[in-house]
């Protein structure tokens, strides 16, 4: 597409929005929600909740169960305030009111230590505060609105988080994120308090990302993203935590959603089971857009290369007299057929690769409330993820096919966790839990000879058990200073590996606008189970005794709200990794370099180390007065030592990242919103291993130069995205339409390289060039 055509498209879209905005009139919708104590999660009765519209106050109070309804609020952006006796006042900005569905807010309020006779209202912007009551450092609360708004995010939480300080994601085709120079392997995904498998389509076993997220952004509510020094409730993790929260469905009204875009075709519904009950449901399903086009007859050349996927997510919530019951599920299926790069043009042969994978997750949570200060949460879940690959050799002349390789990799996991929460008083809050995870791992891998006789390489069905427990408490000395000590411990029976990990966090509000934070502790993580069950040529398991990868992390930060809606935040950190598995056969390698291309089927020993350290800066203006911006930068080093004890750059040592994004919102007509968003990313390129061409009596071959491993790196990554979004409100329904121009400068960022023996030169594979995409959602 030529740039003049892009300009014409922009002008047409804006003209359409302007005309539309003046045709349709003002609409209103209810703002509903629940107000609870942040620590105990008990409802706060008779709290005062209000919003302001052109200087006029629309207010209400919560009922005995903490619920409230602000009726007939005009559509658009709103600020919602909450006030209750004995609690700090709170203001929630950037509340989007749609005509097509009711807006629901979960409001958590912090109890005051000192209650003064004279009350001065100082509302705080809740985006400064994490949802986790124990979080002190390296955490950012994010909203689903941000995932939809940020250019380049495409509604994907992982791609949105790549804009935060300390995070880099120089990969257009996958949403895998690199936190402070760590491997993506170190990330923990959580959904509604459950540890979940990698929730992405076209993922790689043991990794934490993929091409397309299965998480439906329409079902998420405000969530937390951690980049280090996590509280004690999070275990089996060394890099970062995505602590995602699902919202409950509307228990007062039936509502529906449908959308179409490059991410897929979606349909969703939410509502109540009975008007006599507060129980609710929410469900969303998605189908691959490209697969639909292919089935409708669009010519993609062949069936090969068309990504096919579908997913479904749902939540049921049932309030009980003394607690709550909820059930969630996440299911995904993806498959792709493609011609492999090993095509031999001289011999007119090639390889066809057929890959498919699926994920199933079911989780149930029963919360029992003994009284207003004590509750018990019991979580039980089951998950299963599996990938299959079939490789065939093809002779193009006679179209004959022969089996060459088949593999099946999968794992089931049954998980149980019970946690007790108790508030002693306004100063002291305690939390402790215990649980177990039972892993059922299988790996079947076969090669085939010329007669298609199978030659088994791996034939593994193994079970293993992980026991875990944690405890943490928060002591608030006053309204300004709090300390959060705790510990996490787990024991892996397969290898008799045990770890107990002390942790502590500190927060000090030095003034009404500034604060200091500190966190330090020990952390450890299991290896991917397939690493443990690697079989050598003698059918032995050399990795079956591997211990945890361990780390010690320390973070110190400063936060300054230097004006209304403006924030400056800086953090310095140091992470030391030890007991790291390193490759015996290739002593220059380490599992710290694990990504989607890493070979984990090799012998390891726990003799490696690593260190990551750096400084981060965030300057942010939240969306007020019609505009927002976010500028984040990081300077860092990421090093490791392999089996040879030589210190090297890790694969992910890009040294620097810089993100600048922002947007402006116009009110079109009486009830529509047009937003223009942009994002520029500039970061150090991924490190590489160069290759050499060797020749001997056996012929020419390519060999990697591991002695110079990760010394060189690709050129710096650069990308500029522009996004236009229009929210149109009608009387009973709403329309959300967006157009995005990704990589508008068509910058050629290198994804990977390989050596072509036939041409005897290095070949480069590039990320996406200029890519226009669009999508539309309807709410009714």
* Cα dihedral 217, 221, 225, 230 sign: negative
Q: Do residues 154 and 189 touch, judged by C-beta distance below 8 A? A: no
Q: Is the pLDDT of residue 3 over 60?
A: no
Q: Which helix (H) or strand (E) holds 158?
A: helix 157-161
Q: Is the pLDDT of residue 632 over 50?
A: yes
Pick the range with the lowest mean pLDDT from 112-116, 141-145, 183-187, 342-346.
342-346
Q: Which pair of structure tokens corresponds to residue 757?
A: 């023996």
Q: Among candidates 522, 611, 475, 614, which has minimal Cα distance to 234?
A: 522
Q: For residue 766, give Cα distances in angstroms to 82, 174, 208, 265, 348.
A: 50, 13, 22, 28, 27
pLDDT of residue 716: 95
pLDDT of residue 295: 79
CA distance 434 to 439: 17
What percentage of the chain carries pLDDT values higher than 70?
Answer: 91
Q: Is the pLDDT of residue 100 over 50?
A: yes
Q: Which pair of structure tokens corresponds to residue 207?
A: 């990794």
pLDDT of residue 8: 53
Question: In this predicted model, which residue has the larger pLDDT, 153 or 9?
Answer: 153
pLDDT band at 382 (very low <50, low <70, confident <90, very high): very high
Question: In this predicted model, which residue has the larger pLDDT, 599 or 650?
Answer: 650
DSSP E strand boundaries for 669-743: 672-683, 687-688, 691-696, 699-704, 712-713, 717-729, 734-742
For residue range 579-596, list pLDDT tens digits in order. 999 999 999 999 999 887
Q: What's the mean pLDDT in 557-563?
A: 94
Q: Is the pLDDT of residue 338 over 50?
A: yes
Q: What's the mean pLDDT in 322-349?
A: 79
Residue showing tokens 């994907």: 156
pLDDT of residue 25: 47
pLDDT band at 464 (very low <50, low <70, confident <90, very high): very high
Coil/strand/helix, residue 16: helix
pLDDT of residue 12: 53
Q: Is the pLDDT of residue 151 over 90?
A: no
CA distance 415 to 741: 42
For residue range 691-729, list pLDDT tens digits in order. 877 776 666 777 888 999 999 999 999 999 999 999 898
pLDDT of residue 154: 81
Coil/strand/helix, residue 229: coil
Q: What's the mean pLDDT in 351-360?
A: 90
Q: Do residues 426 and 111 touch, judged by C-beta distance below 8 A? A: yes
Pick the range with the lowest mean pLDDT from 21-35, 85-99, 594-608.
21-35
Pick the range with the lowest mean pLDDT from 103-107, 140-144, 542-546.
140-144
Q: Is the pLDDT of residue 514 over 50?
A: yes
Q: Among candidates 268, 291, 383, which has minimal Cα distance to 330?
A: 383
Domains by residue range for the chain, with CATH? 3-136 (2.60.40.1120), 144-779 (2.40.170.20)
Q: Do residues 539 and 566 touch, judged by C-beta distance below 8 A? A: no
CA distance 302 to 24: 45
Q: What's the mean pLDDT in 295-305?
A: 64
Coil/strand/helix, residue 548: coil
Question: In this predicted model, which residue has the larger pLDDT, 367 or 262?
Answer: 367
* Sheet architecture: strand order including 56-61: 56-61, 48-53, 76-83, 90-97, 124-125
Q: What's the mean pLDDT in 436-457?
A: 88
pLDDT band at 211 (very low <50, low <70, confident <90, very high): confident
pLDDT band at 348 (very low <50, low <70, confident <90, very high): low
Q: Do residues 431 and 420 touch, judged by C-beta distance below 8 A? A: yes
Q: Among candidates 247, 334, 244, which has minimal Cα distance to 288?
A: 334
pLDDT of residue 21: 47
For residue range 45-64, list pLDDT tens digits in order. 999 999 988 778 888 999 98
Q: Is the pLDDT of residue 23 over 50?
A: no
Cα radius of gyration rounded to whole Å, the chain: 27
pLDDT of residue 697: 64
Q: Is the pLDDT of residue 70 over 50?
A: yes
Q: What's the mean pLDDT in 314-322?
A: 95
CA distance 31 to 123: 19
Q: Is the pLDDT of residue 166 over 70?
A: yes
CA distance 177 to 471: 29
What percentage of the chain carries pLDDT values higher than 90?
Answer: 55
For residue range 215-263, list pLDDT tens digits in order. 988 899 889 999 999 999 999 999 999 999 999 999 999 999 999 987 8
Burial zone of 454 (CB within 10 Å; 0-12 exposed, 13-18 middle, 19+ buried): exposed
Q: Do residues 33 and 81 touch, judged by C-beta distance below 8 A? A: no
Phi, psi of 147 (to 5 degrees): -65, -35
pLDDT of residue 760: 76
Q: In three state form, how does the secondary structure of 731-759 look?
A: CCCEEEEEEEEECCCCCCCEEEEEEECCC
Residue showing tokens 């400056």: 568
pLDDT band at 1 (very low <50, low <70, confident <90, very high): very low
pLDDT of residue 420: 97
For residue range 468-498, list pLDDT tens digits in order. 999 999 999 998 999 999 999 999 999 999 9
Q: What's the mean pLDDT in 117-139?
A: 65
CA distance 715 to 12: 37
Q: Do residues 755 and 691 touch, judged by C-beta distance below 8 A? A: yes
This prediction's pTM: 0.90
């Amino acid at each position: 597409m030529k740039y003049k055509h892009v300009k014409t498209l922009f002008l047409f879209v804006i003209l359409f929005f302007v005309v539309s905005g003046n045709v349709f009139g003002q609409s209103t919708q209810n703002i509903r929600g629940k107000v609870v104590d942040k620590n105990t999660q008990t409802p706060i009765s008779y709290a005062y909740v209000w919003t302001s519209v052109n200087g006029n106050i629309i207010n209400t109070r919560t009922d005995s169960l903490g619920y409230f309804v602000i009726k007939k609020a005009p559509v658009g952006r709103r600020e919602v305030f909450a006030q209750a006796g004995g609690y700090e006042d709170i203001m929630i900005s950037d509340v989007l009111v749609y005509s097509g569905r009711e807006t629901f807010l979960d409001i958590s309020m912090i109890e005051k230590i000192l209650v003064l006779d004279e009350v001065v209202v100082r509302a705080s912007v809740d985006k400064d505060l994490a949802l986790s009551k124990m979080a002190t450092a390296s955490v950012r609360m994010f909203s689903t609105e941000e995932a939809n708004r940020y250019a380049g995010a495409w509604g994907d939480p992982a791609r949105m988080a790549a804009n935060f300080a300390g995070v880099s994601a120089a990969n257009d085709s996958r949403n895998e994120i690199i936190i402070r120079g760590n491997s993506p392997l170190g990330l923990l995904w959580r959904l509604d308090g459950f540890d979940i498998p990698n929730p992405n389509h076209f993922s790689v076993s043991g990794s934490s990302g993929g091409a397309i997220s299965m998480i439906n952004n329409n079902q998420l509510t405000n969530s937390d993203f951690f980049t280090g020094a996590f509280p004690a409730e999070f275990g089996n993790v060394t890099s970062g935590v995505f602590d995602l929260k699902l919202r409950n469905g509307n228990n007062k009204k039936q509502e529906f959603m449908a959308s179409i875009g490059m991410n897929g075709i979606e349909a969703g519904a939410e509502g109540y089971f009975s008007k006599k009950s507060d129980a609710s449901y929410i469900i969303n399903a998605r189908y691959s857009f490209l697969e639909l086009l292919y089935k409708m007859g669009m010519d993609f050349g062949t069936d090969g290369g068309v990504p096919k996927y579908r997913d479904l997510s749902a939540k049921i919530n049932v309030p009980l007299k003394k607690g709550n019951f909820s059930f969630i599920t996440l299911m995904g299926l993806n498959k792709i057929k493609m011609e492999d790069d090993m095509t031999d043009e001289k011999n007119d042969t090639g390889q066809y690769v057929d890959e498919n994978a699926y994920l199933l997750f079911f989780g149930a949570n029963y919360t029992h409330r003994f009284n207003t200060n004590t509750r018990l949460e019991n979580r039980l879940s089951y998950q299963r993820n599996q990938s299959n690959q079939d490789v065939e050799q093809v002779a193009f002349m006679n179209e004959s096919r022969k089996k060459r390789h088949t593999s099946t990799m999968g794992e089931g996991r049954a998980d149980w966790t019970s946690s007790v929460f108790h508030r002693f008083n306004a100063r002291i809050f305690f939390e402790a839990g215990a649980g177990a995870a039972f892993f059922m791992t299988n790996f079947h891998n076969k090669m085939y000879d010329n007669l298609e006789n199978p030659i088994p390489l791996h034939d593994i069905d193994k079970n293993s058990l992980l026991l875990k427990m944690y405890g943490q408490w928060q002591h608030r000395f006053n309204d300004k200073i709090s300390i959060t000590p705790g510990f996490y411990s787990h024991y892996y029976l397969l290898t008799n590996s045990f770890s107990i990990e002390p942790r502590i966090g500190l927060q000090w509000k030095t003034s009404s606008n500034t604060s200091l934070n500190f966190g330090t502790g020990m952390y450890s993580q299991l290896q991917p189970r397939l690493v443990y069950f690697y079989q050598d040529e003698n059918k032995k398991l050399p990795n079956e005794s591997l211990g945890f990868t361990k780390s010690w992390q320390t973070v110190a930060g400063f936060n300054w709200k230097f004006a209304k809606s403006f924030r400056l935040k800086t953090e310095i950190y140091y992470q030391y990794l030890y007991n790291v598995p390193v490759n015996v056969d290739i002593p220059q390698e380490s599992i710290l370099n694990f990504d989607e291309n890493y070979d984990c089927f090799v012998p390891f020993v726990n003799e490696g180390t690593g260190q990551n350290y750096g400084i981060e800066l965030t300057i942010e203006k939240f969306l007020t007065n019609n505009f927002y911006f976010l500028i984040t930068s990081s300077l860092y080093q990421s090093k490791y030592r392999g089996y040879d004890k030589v210190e090297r750059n890790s694969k992910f040592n890009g040294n620097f990242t810089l993100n600048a994004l922002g947007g402006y919102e116009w009110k079109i007509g009486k009830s529509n919103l047009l937003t223009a968003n942009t994002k520029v990313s500039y970061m150090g390129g991924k490190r590489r291993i160069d290759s050499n061409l060797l020749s001997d009596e056996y012929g020419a071959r390519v060999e990697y130069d591991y002695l110079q491993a990760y010394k060189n790196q690709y050129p710096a990554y650069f990308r500029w995205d522009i996004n236009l979004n229009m929210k149109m409100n009608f009387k009973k329904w709403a329309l959300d339409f967006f157009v995005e121009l990704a990589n508008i400068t068509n910058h050629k960022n290198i994804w990977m390289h390989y050596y072509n023996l036939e041409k005897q030169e290095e070949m480069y594979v590039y990320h996406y060039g200029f890519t226009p995409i669009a999508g539309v959602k309807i709410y009714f």
